[in-house]
Structure formats: C-alpha cells, structure tokens
Amino acid sequence: MNSTGNKRLTKEVQPYHWTLLLYGIKEETWKHYNSLTKKKDPYLADAITVFKLTDKPNFRLSSSPIVFEAQMFNAPIISAEKAPQQLATSVDCGIVVCHIISELASQRQVPISMNQDDVQKFRVHLVSRFFNDGERSWTLKDWQSFQVMKDEQQIEDVKKQTLHDVVCIG
C-alpha cells in the first residue's frame, strides 16, 4: 500500500511511502512490513485504517478446496519485527517491498536487512526481468516498428490539421 504516514491526505500531503500488508494463513495474523520502522509506526496506523474500511471478501484459491471467509480476515495486525530497512534518505521503499514479495513468493525467509548494494542489485534484477520477459516485452525490432508507426501516425495527424493550426519551428 502507498500511504501518507497517518497524515491527512491533502493537496500538499500525498501518499509517498510503500509498505506491505500481508495475511498469514497459518499464523492467522496480518503482518505489516515497513522499511522505515520507527518506535511508533505511522504507516501501521494507515494499514489499520485501510483494513477497517475494506470489505473482506469470501474467496477460493483456484488450487485450494478451502473457502476463505470474511471473518477469517478479522485478525490482528502486527508490525513485522524483521523487515529490511532502507536508508533514511533513500526513496527505495518500493524496491524493498518488491524484494519482500519476491522472497515470500519464493518461500524464502525475508532478510533482516538490505544494504545499499543489495538494493541496487535487486533494482537491476527487476529491470532486467521487465526487459527480458520474452512473452511480454518488446524486442528491438518490435520497438523500432512501433517507433515507425508512431512517426507515421504523427505525420498523418499533422496532415489532418488545417494550415492554420500547424506551427513551424525552423
């Protein structure tokens, strides 16, 4: 979730920090992972607020015979004691959240810490995954074809405009 740190949302105060709220089926608790943990965590307060406002769904995982009922989700929300922390001056909260999700999805232990080198390596890993996903990313040839189509469309758009509307810079 992206939140304000328990500050009222205004034009000047916008959500800026990513955290993760995760339901543990075995533990029957919600865990809140925050890479900027303080003694009194204002982002945990945001998670509790969102939790209270959200309708809890009944659903079934496609591979599971278990139906998860809404009352199962009325569990306590606790702050994850061991969440990797970002530097106080960094803007790496989104990268840290993605790393936590990746570790949990791979059924690995969430690391207690991430140093700046770890954060950079994971950022590179994420970018390379986007660029190298054969089924969902573009090849250089696809990109060049798109650029040609885009240029041709821009030319057509200019042709459709009246001479009055065209501004020449020369």
∠ Cα 77 79 80 (to 5°): 120
For range 165-169, the mean pLDDT? 46
pLDDT reading at 43 higher than 70? yes
DSSP line for 72-97: GG---EEE-SS-----TT---HHHHH
For range 60-70, the mean pLDDT? 58
User: Which pLDDT belongs to residue 164?
Assistant: 44
User: Which pLDDT belongs to residue 155?
Assistant: 67
Q: For the ranges 22-31, 98-107, 109-118, 144-153, which has the lowest average pLDDT? A: 144-153
User: Which pLDDT belongs to residue 169?
Assistant: 45
Question: Residue 42 is inside which H or E element, if any?
Answer: helix 42-53
Would you say the pTM of this structure is higher than 0.85? no
Tokens 């994850």 appear where? Answer: 80
pLDDT reading at 10 higher than 60? yes
How far does Cα 152 stand from its chain's mean position? 35
Q: State pLDDT tens for residues 83-138.
A: 888 887 888 999 999 999 999 999 999 988 888 899 999 999 998 888 777 777 77
How far does Cα 68 stand from its chain's mean position? 24
- 139 phi and psi angles, rounded to 5 deg: -85, 170
User: Which pLDDT belongs to residue 170?
Assistant: 38
Tokens 């992206």 appear where? Answer: 2
User: Which pLDDT belongs to residue 85?
Assistant: 87
Would you kindly state where each structural domain of the chain is located, as residue ranges?
Answer: 2-138
